Amino acid sequence: MAYLRPRLGLSRIFLPGVSAVRLFCSVGMDDMGLAMSCSPLERLDFDNVVLRKLPLDTSEEPGVRQVKGACFSLVKPQPLVNPRFVAVSHEALALLGLNGEEVVDDPLGPEYLSGSKVMPGSEPAAHCYCGHQFGQFAGQLGDGAACYLGEVKVPPGHDPEQLRDNPSGRWEIQVKGAGLTPYSRQADGRKVLRSSIREFLCSEVMFFLGIPTTRAGSIVTSDSKVIRDVYYSGHPRHERCSVVLRIAPTFLRFGSFEIFKQADEFTGRRGPSCGRDEIRGQMMDYVIEMFYPEIQQNYPDRVERNVAFFREVMLRTARLVAQWQCVGFCHGVLNTDNMSILGLTLDYGPYGFMDRFDPDFICNASDNSGRYSYQAQPAICRWNLVKLAEALAPELPPDRAEAAIDEYMALYNGFYLENMRKKLGLLKKAEPEDEILITELLQTMHNTGADFTNTFRSLSQISCPTEGEGEAGEDLIKKATDLLLEQCASLEELKAANKLTMDPRELAMLLSMAQSNPALFQMISDRATIARQLERLSKLKDLTETSQEELKTKHAEEWSHWITRYRKRLAQELEGQSDVQGVQEERVRVMDSTNPRVILRNYIAQNAIEAAENGDFSEVQRVLKVLEKPFSLQPGLELPAWAGKGESAEQGERDEGEEQQQEAASTSTARNPVPYDSKPPSWAHEICVT
C-alpha cells in the first residue's frame, strides 16, 4: 500500500533520565484566543465512525464474558508504571500528521501511546470477533490485548495516494498490550518487550518491502512487570510490559463476520451473536461503504455488490500471499481471525523470514502438523476464504461465492509468476518455460540449502550471454556458480536441517499403526507428515555417506546446469532489442529493486531484543533504519551498533529477580557480529518462536 513518502531525518529515542520538562508548559494562543494544546497527540482529529455505525457494548461489567449483539466493547486501558519510548517510526506517525521528533520530545507521548492516558477524542474499545484456529472453530476470541483508541482523520496536505489505498479518510489506531478486555480469556492483556519489538519491526519492514500491511508507530516499555515462561519450559521470568501503537484503515478481519456462526458441527461452539443476521448486514454495509466505495457506487443491486466485494477480498488475498511467497515470509498463524478484510498482513506473532530455502519451512514452533508452513500458505488462505464465504451467507449466495473461490488459485499463480519474473529479470517476454525455470531454481536451492534472500539478490550479477563468447561463456558460468555456492549450506548444516522433527520411536509406532489400524492412524496423524519424516531420513542417510568436497562438487554441477538454462533464457530477452545495453541495465535495476538486500531475519530481531532487554534501545532504532531501505546498501549501517564495543551502549535499570534476564540479554554482545545482509550465524537455528 502506498502511504506517505519517506521523511528524512535522524531517528531519535526517548531514554530514561532525559529531562521531561521540555515543551511541557509551552502554551500559545490562536487567533480566536483559545489555548493551544501542549501535546501534539492532543491535537489529533478523531472521528470514531465505527463505534457509531456498528453495535457497541457499553457495559462496564469487569472480567471476561461473552459479548452478544455487539461488535465492540468499551474498555479502560490499564496504565503502565513509568512508560517510556523504545522507538518510533517517523514514517508511520506521519500518516497521522505527527512529527516523530515532536512525539519523542513530548513528555506525555509515552503515556498517550501506551494507553496509560487517554487522548482527547479517543474512545477506547475492544473488537469482538471469532475464528477458526488450526482448522477448528474456537468461538468468541476478540481483542484480548489490543485496544482501539479511535479513528484519526487523514491530515490536510496528505499524499493523494493515501485516499486510493485508504478511501475512508481515517486511520484506526490501536495500542496492543494495554491490559484486560472482555476478550482476554485466561491471559492478562499485556505484551512484553520481545513480542512488541518483533511486531513493530516487521510491520514496518513489510511496508518498505512494498507488501500491504498494518503499520506500527511506536513501542513503549515500562517498569510494570508480568511473568512469562518464554519456552514453556517451567522456568518463568519477569518481563517488562510493553505496548505497540498499530495503525491501519481498519483492523476488521475474516473472523469479525464469524460472530454470527451457528453451532459448529465439530466443536459445538457458536458465535456470540448467532441469530443476529441484521448485524451482519450492518457490518457488510459499513465495510463496503467505507473501504470499497467504488463497489458501493457501481453495484446498486445488493447481491451483486456483495459478490463484487467478496471477489475483491479474494483477489487482494491472492495477491498478498503471492507477495509473501516471493520474499520468503511465513506468517505462522493463518487463522481466520488473523486475515484482514482489506488484504493486509495482520497480527505479527511467530512469523519468520526463511533463511535456507525449504518449502516445508515452519516458523511457528507450536505448529507441529505444519498446517501453516511456507508452501501451505496459498492453500490455507483459500481455505480461510471459504470460511469467510460461509460467514457472509446468506448476504453472499453460496453458489456465487464458490464461483469466485474457483478463480483463486489461477489468480494467485498469475501474481506469483509475475513477481517471480521480476525477481529473475525476465521483463520483455513471458515464455511458457518460465514456470519450469522457476521450479528448477527453487529445487536447486532446496537441494543445496541455498539462502533464499541472498540467492535471489545474487542473480542480477549473472550476465546475459553474448554472441560468440565461447570459452569466456564457460568462465562466466563458473564465476556465477562460485557466487551462488557461497549461499549454499555446508554438509553439517544440511545434516542438522534434515534431522527428524519427530521422536524415532513415535515414527516407528505410527508406521506400524498405518498398516495395522488405518482408521486410528488417520485420527492422530496423516500420511503427508510421515512422508516428510521419511524423506528427511533418506536425505540424512545420503548426507552421512558424503564428504564436504563431494557435496560441493555436486552442488556446483546443479548450479552450473541451472545457470546455463537461465542465461539461455536471458538471451531471449535480448532478441529484437536495439538497445541491448539498456535492456541489461533495466534488468539489473528491476531485479535489485525487487530482491531485497536485507530482511528481518530472526537473529537480527533477536539481537535487537536482547539489547533492549538490557536497557539499550539503539539497536531497535538502528535495525528500523536499515529496514527502511531494504533494497539498498547503506554505508555505516552494515553491522549492529554494538559490533566491536564489547558491551551495550546504554545500560538500563536492573531490578532484583532480573539476573537471569540480564544474563540472557548480554549474550548478543558476546557473539561475533555479522552484517545484516549476510547468511544467518550458526547460533540462529537455536532461536525458537512460538
The residues facing 192 across adjacent strands are: 241
Contact 422, 590 (CB under 8 A): yes
337 given a catalytic annotation = yes
3-state secondary structure at position 633:
coil
Out of 143, 337, 347, 616, the active site residue is 337
> How far, in Å, CA of 251 to CA of 246, rounded?
9
What does the DSSP 8-state code read for residue 487?
A: T
DSSP string, 382-405: HHHHHHHHHHHTTTS-HHHHHHHH
Q: Bridge-partner residues for 73, per DSSP?
A: 57, 126
Running DSSP on this structure, what letter comes out for residue 84?
A: E
Residue 63: count of CB within 10 angstroms of its CB: 8
**Residue 396 in grid coordinates:** 453472499
Sign of the Cα pseudo-torsion (541, 547, 552, 554, in order) = negative
| Beta carbons within 8 Å of 483's beta carbon, 6+ residues apart | 458, 461, 462
Pairwise CA distance, residues 248 & 162, whole Å: 11
Contact 285, 293 (CB under 8 A): no
Cα–Cα distance for residue pair 79/179, rounded to 1 Å: 8
Helices and strands counted in the chain (H then E): 25, 13
Q: How many CB atoms lie within 10 A of CB 620?
A: 26
Neighbours of 235 (CB within 10 A): 9
Copy the grid coordinates of residue 55.
453495535
Contacts of 206 (CB under 8 A, 6+ apart): 212, 213, 329, 345
Side chain identity, residue 592? D
d(CA 201, CA 208): 11
Q: Which residues does 259 contact at the CB level (< 8 Å), separation at least 6?
A: 71, 128, 129, 130, 140, 271, 272, 273, 274, 279
**Contact between residue 680 and residue 600 where contact means Cβ atoms under 8 Å apart:** no
| Count of Cβ atoms closer than 10 Å to residue 375 Cβ | 14
Surface-to-core class of residue 545, CB atoms within 10 Å of its CB (0-12 exposed, 13-18 middle, 19+ buried): exposed
Write out the three cell numbers for 623. 535495525
* CA-wise closest residue to 625 among 639, 612, 615, 611: 639
The set of catalytic residues is: 337
